Amino acid sequence: MAPIADTAAEHLRQLAGPDAVLRPAQLEAITAAVEDRRRSLVVQRTGFGKSAVYFIATRMLRDAGAGPTLVVSPLLALMRDQVAAAERMGVRSATINSTNLDDWSEIEAGLAAGEIDLLCISPERLNHHRFARQVLPRLAAGLGLLVIDEAHCISDWGHDFRPDYRRIRDAIANLDPSTPVIATTATANERVALDVAEQLGDDVLVLRGTLDRESLSLGVARLGSLAERLAWLALRIGAVDGTGIVYCLTVEQTTQVASFLAAQGIDAVAYSGQTPADERVPLEEAFKANRLKALVATSALGMGVDKSDVTFVYHMGAPPSPIAYYQQVGRAGRSVDHAEAWLLPGPEDQAIWDYFTSVGLPPERLVSRVLEALGDEPLSVPALERQVDLRRTRLETLLKILDVEGAVVRTADGWLRTDRPWTYDHERVERVAEARRHEAEEMLRYSECSRCLMRALRESLDDADATDCGRCSVCTASGDPVVLDPDVVRAAVEFLRGADVVVEPRKQWVRGGAPDLPRGNIAADRRAEVGRALCRVGDSGWWPVVSRCEAAGAADDELIGGVFAALKRWPWDARPSWVTWIPGGLAEDVAARIGHAGKLPVHATFAGATPPSTGANSAFRLAAVWSELQLAGSPPGVAGPVLLVLDRADSRWTQTVAAHRLREAGAGPVLPFVIARV
């Protein structure tokens, strides 16, 4: 029988090509799994070949008669690439996920028949009732290898918000002690690595390598406005060879950035968690085949697309931690001699970090309120929202956390409280919160760093061998490579000012709302029409003008010019016949100017000020608006649509209730126009 090193090297050549050479740390991890049946944590940079370790180990274990491998992996895009790569070396692979429900039965039959060597699942699949009860027990009983990809997520210190990763701890604890486990990550600092290793069991082999990326140069461009950052991206992407990724912090921003780049002649497409499933694979394939210059993505792309020749990664806004940043810039420079990663931090970054941090474990009083509301009868999420003032996302995340910890259980009809004792872990919550505060501070320091950027990044990840790289913008004193063209900056400002900010109408009242609130669908003749907003709060288009006018207490001619341009672009079915407004801010002044210029009657139909945006979730917000927003009198007897001017739109309940009140009183279609969308 050939020595393990020879066999592993041959499998690697099948996987990665005839010139591929097995790294010593790869061989050590493979040997630990195949010969020693040990558990190992592989902490190595992106591009090291961590997936090759468990592909090869799977092939060798299967050849020796072992059961299949289960890979827990966080992203569908990564799963697809892993399955395709494994097939190249004869590892029969499949994935069970939310996009291939029709294939589940066939895959499960293949597993039972021994026809599948490697199965990829997401951590959430561990909590799917059918998979957890029918598939997982049979699979675990004969498992040949368990692989935990992005293993930092099973740590309390981890930066990911996927509670189901914590279920892996139980899966590990319930494994036969002789079952090998390989945990991999590129982004664990020392405290996370120790925590993960402790959870893997006793006698864990930790293989930690250097985090340097010899082909990657880093830089930070500090710019004054969103328009300047858009211009920077357009100018730099147009000048750089190859293809790359622009990371954004929000879904909305991916669309905005991709649209501007496309307007500047750059072949860029948005990619996020909201990209339809049937569009993701074609986009990924086009990007990997270099038919796209850039993907403009959220962290949904994350570790995702397996493309080794990425030449640039730019960040429109800073991720919340050096861990996340290192992970994302690691997509560049894997098989090219030179790649670059530039960070373009923005003033809105911290507010976005705070929002995503808030999705974690809420304060004890709100957690206690959820547990008090749950009992022996199933309760739906909408019904819980009526009792607990948490946004839907935060509430669902909290229920997942409580489910993982055994305090609640989900049934087909809703959520139940279990009889398992549960107490709020103040120490853990504060520990995680402090870790995230520290990570955010480190990211801020990185964005203002005056020393080697690669060294600063590696030191933040506890790389003991970190030294000056000699490549980054600080080491080379090269500075920002982009000289902003005023014409492109102006084009960005005009783009932002000319972009239609669509305000979609709500079509349903809050499910399970209070008894005195309306329920069900909002009738078509009672709901608002599709609306428009002049700008978004904080953008570089009209927001500076809006902000200036708010300080002055009146709309000036420049702002009104922008309002008229937005109204002119609005493709409504019929021109408004009259104008009204929701009191507060600049709305009354803008409504009056619109009426005067358009020779339209202007009527005050609502009394008092704009209802405050109280409450976190829709149930509480709707209740506040419903009670406070009332008509001052009957609408005027003017036929045709009414233009409803609002100062702000956030939850959209104000425009929804206002439209309902107006239509109910006999007004025609209601066209909401918002000065600034939050």
Residue 375: CATH number of its domain: 1.10.10.10
pLDDT (mean) for 159-163: 54
pLDDT range class, residue 243, cuts 50, 70, 90 = very high
Q: Same domain for 363 and 341?
A: no
Assign 92 a pLDDT band (cuts: 50, 70, 90): very high
Nearest by Cα to 606 from 586, 567, 579:
579
pLDDT over 60 (residue 269): yes
Structure confidence at residue 313 (pLDDT)? 97
pLDDT tens per residue across span 54-82: 999 999 999 999 999 999 887 656 666 76
What does the pLDDT average to over 622-629? 89
pLDDT at 159: 42
Contact 665, 631 (CB under 8 A): yes
Q: Is residue 154 a part of any domain in this protein?
A: yes
Q: Are 420 and 426 in contact (CB under 8 A)?
A: no
Tell which wins on pLDDT, 16 or 302.
Answer: 16
- Over residues 597-625, mean pLDDT: 81
**495 in any annotated domain:** no
Q: Are residues 450 and 422 in the same domain?
A: no
Quote the pLDDT of residue 162. 62
Q: Is residue 36 part of a domain?
A: yes
Checking if the pLDDT of 1 tops 50, the result is no
Residues 313 and 190 in one domain: no
| 265 and 170 within one domain | no
Q: Where are the beta strands (DSSP E) in 250-378?
A: 268-271, 294-297, 310-316, 339-344
Token pair for 465: 């061998």
436 is a domain residue: no
How many Cβ atoms from other residues are within 10 Å of residue 434's Cβ?
10
Kindly report which listed range (268-277, 328-337, 600-609, 613-622) carries the lowest average pLDDT score: 613-622
pLDDT at 486 > cutoff 90:
yes
Task: Find the CATH number of the domain harbouring 45.
Answer: 3.40.50.300
What pLDDT digit, counting tens, does each position of 450-469 carry? 999 999 999 998 888 899 99
Q: What is the model's pLDDT at position 449?
A: 93
To which residue do tokens 């895959």 refer? 107
Does residue 661 sit within a domain? Answer: yes
pLDDT greater than 90 at residue 342: yes
Average pLDDT over residues 132-154: 83
d(CA 130, CA 367) in angstroms, rounded, equals 28
Reading the block at residue 498, the tokens are 């000319």
Q: Are residues 347 and 376 in the same domain?
A: no
What pLDDT is attached to residue 234? 98
Report the chain's mean pLDDT, rounded to a whole number: 88
In a domain, 362, yes or no: yes
- Per-residue pLDDT at 645 exceeds 50: yes
**Same domain membership, residue 150 and residue 18:** yes
Domain edge (last residue) among 404, 428, 452: 428
Q: Give the per-residue pLDDT at 160.
A: 47
Domain total of the chain:
4
pLDDT one-digit tens code per residue, 344-373: 999 888 888 887 776 666 788 888 999 999
Residue 203 CB-half CA count within 13 A: 8
pLDDT for 340 beyond 90 = yes
pLDDT, residue 576, reads: 96
String of DSSP letters for 621-675: HHHHHHHH--BSSPPPS--S-EEEEEEEESSSHHHHHHHHHHHHTT---EEEEEE
Look at residue 375 and tell me whether its pLDDT is greater than 80: yes
pTM over 0.75: yes
Asked if 316 and 248 count as a contact pair (C-beta separation under 8 A), the reply is yes
What is the pLDDT averaged over residues 162-187?
A: 81
Give the model's confidence band at 669: pLDDT under 50 very low, under 70 low, under 90 confident, else very high. Answer: very high
Q: What is the mean pLDDT of residues 462-490?
A: 94
Instruction: Tell me the average pLDDT across 371-386.
Output: 90
Taking the C-alpha atoms of residue 124 and residue 130, their distance in angstroms, rounded to an integer, is 12
Whether the per-residue pLDDT at 14 is higher than 50: the answer is yes
- Same domain flag for 479 and 504: no
Lowest mean pLDDT segment, chosen from 1-15, 334-348, 480-494:
1-15
Q: State whether 563 and 465 are in the same domain.
A: no
pLDDT of residue 75: 65
Of residues 360 and 387, which shows the higher confidence score?
387
Please tell me whether residues 617 and 649 are part of one structural domain.
Answer: yes
- Give the pLDDT of residue 360: 67
Q: What size, in residues, is the chain?
A: 678
How large is the angle between the packed helices 4-16 and 76-88, nearest 10 degrees?
A: 120
Q: Are residues 345 and 369 in the same domain?
A: no
Q: Tell me which residue of 84, 58, 80 sits closest to 70, measured CA to CA.
A: 58
The reply to whether 292 and 375 lie within a common domain is no
Q: Report the SS3 class of residue 397.
A: helix
% of the chain beyond a pLDDT of 90: 53
DSSP one-letter string for 329-350:
HTTSSSSSS-EEEEEE--TTHH
Cβ atoms of 270 and 254 closer than 8 Å: yes
Asked whether residue 494 is assigned to any structural domain, the reply reads no
Residue 174's pLDDT is 76
What digits encode the pLDDT tens for the residues 281-309? 889 889 999 999 999 998 867 545 678 89
The SS3 of residue 269 is strand
SS3 of residue 219 by DSSP: strand
Domain that holds residue 202: 4-208
Paired sense of beta strands 408-411 and 414-417, if any: antiparallel
Q: Are residues 522 and 475 in the same domain?
A: no
Domain boundary among 182, 208, 234: 208
Q: How does DSSP classify residue 165?
A: G
- Stretch 589-595: mean pLDDT: 97
Please check whether residue 641 lies inside any domain of the structure.
yes
Across residues 417-436, what is the average pLDDT?
A: 86
Which of 288, 256, 289 shows the shortest CA–CA distance to 270?
256
At 79 the pLDDT is 64
Mean pLDDT for 130-155 is 82
